[in-house]
Amino acid sequence: MPRAFDAEARLRVIQKVRLGGNLTVAAEAAGFSVATVKRHMKDDPAFAQEITDAINYGDGEMQLTLREVLIRDENVPGMFRWLESRQAQDFGQKKLVVNQHVGPGGGPIQVAVATTDQLRELLGDPEYRDKMLSVVNDLPMIEATATEDG
| More confident position, 141 or 80 | 80
Q: What is the pLDDT of residue 150?
A: 47
Enter the pTM of the model. Answer: 0.54
CA 143 to chain centre: 28
Flag whether pLDDT at 42 surpasses 90: yes
- Spatial neighbors of 68 by CB under 8 A, at least 6 apart, are none
> Using an 8 Å Cβ cutoff, are 95 and 89 in contact?
no
User: What are the backbone dihedrals phi and psi of residue 125, each rounded to the nearest 5 degrees, phi first?
Assistant: -90, 115
pLDDT at site 56 = 92
- Residue 101 sits at φ, ψ, to 5 deg, of -120, 130
Nearest to 61 by CA among 28, 17, 1, 27: 17
pLDDT at 95 (0 to 100):
65
pLDDT tens, residue by residue, 24-34: 999 999 999 99
146: left (phi over 0), alpha (psi -120 to 50) or beta: beta
How many CB atoms are located within 10 Å of the residue 16 CB?
A: 20
Percent of the chain's residues with pLDDT above 70: 75
Q: At what angle do helices 45-72 and 7-18 cross, to 10 degrees?
A: 20
Tell me the per-residue pLDDT of 91-149, one tens digit each, with 9 for 90 and over: 777 666 666 677 777 777 766 565 666 667 777 777 777 777 776 676 665 555 555 55
Mean of the per-residue pLDDT values of the chain: 81
The pLDDT of residue 11 is 95
pLDDT at 82 exceeding the cut of 50 = yes
